[in-house]
Chain A
Amino acid sequence: MTQPILEVEKLNIRFHSASGTNHVVRDVSFTLGREKLAIVGESGSGKSQTARAILGLTPGQVSAQKLAFDGQSLLGLSNAEWRKIRGRRITMVMQDPKYSLNPVMRIGDQLLEAAARKGSRAALKTRALEMLQAVKIRDPERVFRAFPHELSGGMGQRVMIAMMLVTEPELLIADEPTSALDVTVRLQVLAILDDLVKTRDMGLIFISHDLNLVSTFCDRVLVMYAGQILEELDAKHLQDAKHPYTRGLLACTPNLENPVAVLPTLQRDPSWMAPVDR
């Protein structure tokens, strides 16, 4: 695995409006191999926009020195070229199954639509059922016929993961995929993602604000603040972070074993924002 799945160099995203330009992602660079990479940061730090830019889904103006997937540049692709990649080779799991599944379509039909491959309906259905089984759904036949409102949040989230599994992506972007789930279900869903990275050589970008979870689940962590990457860390060594922002985030997280009387709050420093030329 010498060739990285994804290379991002100096990615910038700007939103233009009548009141001026909002520069939401500033000179973000990273590469991704067959690994679990976390992007953490507060809301508004630009982590979701970065992920969306990789799929060509941000409404903002994207510019980069390099944005390449499996050696192929993603800059300036036509719609037809995007369709060959998006949803097939790169897929995304969204945060909330309640809003991401079509409420008036049966789960099975949604899975078959995601598969969107040639082949008999029966063969596709067998595959879809296998995928539901792979995400540990007990009664795949029932879920296949069910509508989203008949499933719990945890089941809905697992269905969304099955839906992306069926396309066998090389890169999966998961935007807070488990924050709506109960703690035990959350870990079970993560175990499924972990298996995929290991057995299918998939790359995973895991967007989260849960530092504790990220440090135990991912391989590497990018810490974003105000559109910039402040620090890149080995997930195992997240507790030894150097940057005051990362340290601040770690300190203000309540600790089950050592609760403190008053939680430290985060003091932000304008100097964390490196100047960006152009």
Chain B
Amino acid sequence: MNDNMPMVEVKNLDVTFDTGRHRVRALAGVSFAIAPGESFGLVGESGSGKTTVLRVLAGLIRQWNGGITVAGKPLTPDRDKDAKRAIQMVFQDPYGSLHPKHTVDRILAEPLQIHGIGDIENRMKDTLEQVQLGAAFRFRYPHQLSGGQRQRVAIARALILRPKLLLLDEPTSALDVSIQAEVLNLLAKLRHELDLTYILVSHDLAVVAQLCHRLAIMRTGEIVETADSEKLAKGELTHPYSRQLLTASKGFDRAAIAAFTDL
């Protein structure tokens, strides 16, 4: 892989959900490219398709059209274990994404067993250290952990396979701001230390500004605007929808709310 090759390249990605009675075009020609080591934000309101993009990349949605390459290799709906290992996902709700009857040890061992990796002891020790949880947490159950500790376990489960690309689906929206700050700091540190590439889905522009280099704003299955974080911080987004999101992120303002279009 040479230096100029993007880590992820998505071209004209199209996803349609068809239940027989209803057809919903969830993604309508989405294209973007992400450099290795970059952190890329996907922003939009519910139904905009941002999570669908992540689910396609994670292999959770297998019917799609378009071209996706990850680290130079084309991604197909059926992928081998190597391809799966390179892309890992952290889900939104740490209360729902960990098996309540499995210990941290078992939660972290499972992906290693599935991928036939023998080096369980060392990997587990290293990974727990990376997410700043002590070895004492290994034999605890999820209900014995706080929200922030659970999200660290979820991050550890993704990291233990040593992926290249981490998909983060609202990883801090279920957490208190104080804990959110700790998790965001941890994610920034890990990306730097482990040379990871991130795709972060969020509806919180401030979180995206904190963690991402660039972002794409999505609406009804399309990307309406791509900008770098500097433009975001300066409020220099140009699309009317992006501008509306930006205004809404600044807090309660009657005049601004009256000007919102398309309820």
Which A residues are closer than 8 A to B by beta carbons? 42-43, 136, 138, 152-154, 182-188, 190-191, 194, 209, 211-213, 215-217, 248-249, 252-266
Contact among B47, B178, B232, B245 for A252, CB-based, below 8 A: B178
Residues A182 and B257 in contact, CB atoms below 8 Å apart: no
Q: Contact between B181 and A266 (Cβ–Cβ < 8 Å)?
A: yes
Q: Contact: B205 with A256, CB < 8 Å? A: yes
- Residues of chain B within 8 A (CB-CB) of A136 are 263
In the bound complex, what is the Cα–Cα distance between A174 and B147 (angstroms)? 23
Assess the A254–B178 pair: CB atoms within 8 A.
no
CB pair B248 A256 closer than 8 Å = no
Chain B 162-184 near chain A by CB (<8 Å), digits 1 or 0? 00000000000000111111101
In the bound assembly, the distance between CA atoms of A256 and B181 in angstroms comes to 14
**15 A-B Cβ contacts within 8 A?**
A42-B177, A42-B179, A152-B46, A183-B249, A188-B257, A190-B252, A211-B177, A212-B250, A248-B178, A254-B184, A254-B206, A254-B207, A256-B250, A259-B206, A263-B210
A57 and B232 CA atoms in complex are apart in Å by: 44
Residue contact A263 to B252, C-beta cutoff 8 Å: no
Closest chain B residue to A179, Cβ basis: B173
Partner of A263 from the list B181, B203, B234, B256 (CB cut-off 8 Å) is B181
Q: Known contacts A182-B45, A194-B254: does B205 contact A263 (CB below 8 Å)? A: no
Please report the C-alpha to C-alpha distance between residue A263 and residue B234 in the assembled complex, in whole angstroms. 19
**Would you give the shortest CB distance from B88 to chain A, in whole angstroms?**
24
Q: Are B181 and A252 in contact (CB under 8 A)?
A: yes
- B260 on the A face (CB < 8 A): yes
Q: A184, B206: Cβ atoms under 8 Å?
A: no
Min distance, Cβ B204 to any Cβ of chain A, angstroms: 8
Residues of A contacting B181 in the complex (Cβ-Cβ under 8 angstroms): 252-254, 263-266
- By the criterion CB–CB under 8 Å, are B46 and A209 in contact? no
